[in-house]
Homo-oligomer: A and B are copies of this chain.
């Protein structure tokens, strides 16, 4: 592989001058410039980025951590990140944490070891304190996850209010016997959504006994198991509010397997508006997060962080949207 020295020799100049044309410096005679560019072409020279990065101690790479890479929810976010990144000369690298703390720690170590210039994370398997200590020293943006205190830059929607809204929609259809699939208790987002749900039912004076609020894994299987259990225990209900679309899909699958029809027998709503929600049959009524915007905004904040600009606010709250589809029906 040709180096800058080879180019310098070929063009009959010093490496300093070659470096100058590489950087687009104007202080090089057009004719020398041409001679150097010729040499570069002849030798098929490419700067060794490893050396450049070492020299500058920056990679122009941003690491994006997602909890599960096959989830289309994140593809849209990634597209948003990418659009801003490319415009600013950054590449994004994607990794999958599977919500595993050890894996996640490994990724943050990449930051410490200068492998990437910053991290945008949609997974927070690490204790908040640890996250904070990384964020205090390096550019870190958290997306779609609240953290208990506000010293971490984060980009979300108002999960509590959105959850209230969709619950109110179900209530407005006349449902009184409602089950809630709550997701894992250790994730702040799911706690917020649960709170929003509880606010809504309480303010309407609808009683939801404890056994109708079910903790479950935030995936299809989790939703399936939760609803299968409810049905096995002969619980009666006309609607299910799920704290995520994957759980909602699992719930519908379970209902179908037990011979119930959605939405005629039971109405189901989800949260997030993943791709499957539109394609599934029945299509899901859900809360649409502004995924692309979440991505682009996160990357913008990342750029500010890298540039050392002071943040206007640690918390960025974006708008959401209720998407009414088939699964909620029109109860009367």
Name A residues whose Cβ lies closer than 8 Å to a Cβ of B.
46-51, 53-54, 57, 59, 68-72, 74-76, 78, 82, 91-96, 109-110, 112-115, 220, 249, 253, 256, 275-276, 279-281
Contact = CB atoms under 8 A, between A and B. Distances in A.
Contact of A279 (B47, B49, B114, B276): B276
A56 B74 CA distance: 35
21 contacts: A46-B113, A47-B113, A48-B113, A49-B110, A49-B113, A49-B114, A50-B50, A50-B54, A69-B78, A70-B71, A70-B76, A78-B96, A91-B95, A92-B95, A93-B93, A93-B94, A93-B95, A94-B96, A220-B279, A256-B281, A280-B281
B46 A50 contact: no
Contacts of A71: 70
Nearest to A137: B1
Contacts of A113: 46-50
Nearest to A73: B70
A324 to B, nearest CB: 19
B75 A70 contact: yes
Contacts of A253: 279
Given A48-B114, A93-B95, A249 B279 contact: yes
Nearest to A56: B50
Contacts of A94: 69, 93-96
Contacts of A51: 54
A283 to B, nearest CB: 10
Nearest to A278: B220
A114 B51 CA distance: 9
A71 B72 CA distance: 7
A95 B48 CA distance: 21
Q: Please provide the 8 A-B residue pairs with the shortest distance between their CB atoms, ordered closest to farther.
A: A70-B75, A54-B54, A70-B72, A49-B113, A50-B114, A94-B94, A93-B93, A281-B281
A300 B91 CA distance: 27
